[in-house]
Chains A and B, each alone.
Chain A
Amino acid sequence: MPKSLLIISRQSPWSGSSAREALDIVLAGGAFDLPIGLLFLDDGVFQLAAKQDARTLQQKDLSANLQALPMFGVEALFVCGDSAAERGLDPNTLSLEEIQVLAAPEITALIDRYHQVITL
């Protein structure tokens, strides 16, 4: 059994390459069938805002990429409920439907459960 890996993504999609790098690790891990999880924390929850539009910025659309996660076999998707609430995001309108909203103690338990953690 390969070691499980949790990626914690905590930067906005527009603040440099961090959010994309976190997603690339997850997609690569998923393509290789690793037990991999993805948690959106702090500004990372902004990646999940609905109806983002990157066309005028001429950047690739990260939210479209996020929709590919289930295709890559990544189904362990989590979001910090407090981070979303603090940033005015309704957990019911996030762009990933199959995401679990976690409270702080549940996040502690989540991190505990994985063999390795990478925070970006």
Chain B
Amino acid sequence: MSTLHLLSHSPFGDDRLTSCLRVIGAEDALLLSGDAAYALQPGTAPFNVLGTRGLKVFVLAEDVQARSLPTPDWAEAIDYPAFVELSIHYDKVNSWL
């Protein structure tokens, strides 16, 4: 069963992203919301890891816009209706609270 992993904490000074990347499956996807979007800051360790893992990565468009972050070609910026669709598309959602 596929899982949509939902992160909302900054990857700097928090190990949720590291931990999530350790257990995420090939059929799974990652959705960055809130401060988790900072993982898209170019040139940083989280950015480099995500860029080379070949995972499906989504990010909320309003969160990257608010934080002046680019959306790299390996990530897809989405709006809330698309977020809802994604959470239905995957068998379950795992929110890293």
How many residues from B make CB contacts under 8 Å with A? 16
B94 & A119 in contact (Cβ 8 Å cutoff): yes
Interface hit among A50-58, A69-77, A93-101, A110-118: A110-118
Distance in angstroms between the alpha carbons of A76 and B6 in the assembled complex: 24
Which chain A residue has the least Cβ–Cβ distance from B2?
Answer: A112
Which chain A residue has the least Cβ–Cβ distance from B25?
Answer: A108
- A119 to chain B: which residues have CB within 8 Å? 94-97
Binary contact track B1-30/A, C-beta < 8 Å → 1, others 0: 111000000000001000100111101000
Q: Contact residue range for chain A?
A: 10 to 19
Residue B92 at the A interface, CB < 8 A? Answer: yes
B23 & A117 in contact (Cβ 8 Å cutoff): no
- A104 to chain B: which residues have CB within 8 Å? 22-23
B22 & A112 in contact (Cβ 8 Å cutoff): no
A108 & B19 in contact (Cβ 8 Å cutoff): no
B92 & A116 in contact (Cβ 8 Å cutoff): yes
Distance in angstroms between the alpha carbons of A52 and B96 in the assembled complex: 27
B interface residues with partner A (beta carbon < 8 Å): 1-3, 15, 19, 22-25, 27, 91-92, 94-97
- Give the 8 A-B residue pairs with the shortest CB-CB distance, closest first: A117-B94, A107-B23, A108-B25, A104-B22, A119-B96, A108-B23, A42-B19, A120-B97
- Extra pairs beyond A111-B25, A115-B1, A119-B94 (20, CB < 8 Å): A41-B23, A42-B19, A108-B23, A111-B23, A112-B1, A112-B2, A112-B3, A112-B25, A112-B27, A114-B1, A114-B92, A115-B92, A116-B92, A117-B3, A117-B92, A117-B94, A118-B94, A118-B97, A119-B95, A119-B97
